[in-house]
Amino acid sequence: MKLLRYGPRGAEKPGILDSNGKVRDLSGHIDDIGGDTLTSAGLAKLSAIDIDSLPVVTEPGRLGPCVTRTGKFICVGLNYADHAAETGAAIPEEPILFMKATSAITGPNDNVIIPRKSKKTDWEVELGVVIGDEARYVSEADAMKHVAGYCLINDVSEREFQAERGGQWTKGKSADSFGPIGPWMVARDEIADPQNLKMWLSVDGTMRQNGSTRTMIFGVAFLVHYISQFMSLQPGDIISTGTPPGVGLGMKPPVFLTAGQTIKLGIEGLGEQTQLTVDAA
């Protein structure tokens, strides 16, 4: 089951991708893809629908963020051993957590806006985990029961804001458009092993990241378990699980984004994104 949202910003409708890659309209069954729709009970109701009976959306146009009403956008830093090495950082003993503002969330192919006074806007392809059932103090063994599905994320980052402006990662991660998610959320049971997915990102046709979730230090189940010890996780919350090597910061010399560039990225089974970089107005 691949759930998506399509239409103009702020007026998206819920949809589902059929076996032929066509978008089908779900608005006759649900108001949107968020909240209770993402719980086990909500997804069970959707899976019982005959997709072929749903109206075909012949021109879906823009794809919006694949989930809505996200309360928390939680990110994990330095969660790939090879990425930590390229930045010169030590392997974390526990997950490094920080928050990305939910106002950064945007559609998978919307423009990436380079903030005013930015010098070091960077890219990061990441596996996103969408929470389904509420998770509070869950064990690692039970953690996956609380996952609704997975999505592709570009964890866009401004490195100077992140590391040189007071040491607070959140302000380097939260600019408008810094959280493209989608094109769709793939239900958990359709991804056999989230720890064995190829992932890649290119800028202007040059491959920059070419990795795999195999090199994650802390896997999905552990992250859900771990984060739930510090805060409850609600339906629609998103965990962005870290990035493999190849970010601009890790290049020698470093290379960062400028207006007019094209970013393309993808994760095996989760689709692709394409973004144009533009300067903030």
pLDDT band at 22 (very low <50, low <70, confident <90, very high): very high
pLDDT at 235 > cutoff 90: yes
pLDDT at 204 > cutoff 80: yes
In angstroms, the CA 83 to CA 151 distance is 20
- In terms of C-beta density within 10 A (0-12 exposed, 13-18 middle, 19 or more buried), how is residue 28 classed? exposed
Q: What confidence tens digit (pLDDT) does each residue in 208-231 have? A: 999 999 999 999 999 999 999 999
pLDDT, mean over the chain: 96
In angstroms, the CA 168 to CA 152 distance is 25
73-279 placed in CATH 3.90.850.10:
yes
Domain residue ranges in the chain: 2-53, 73-279
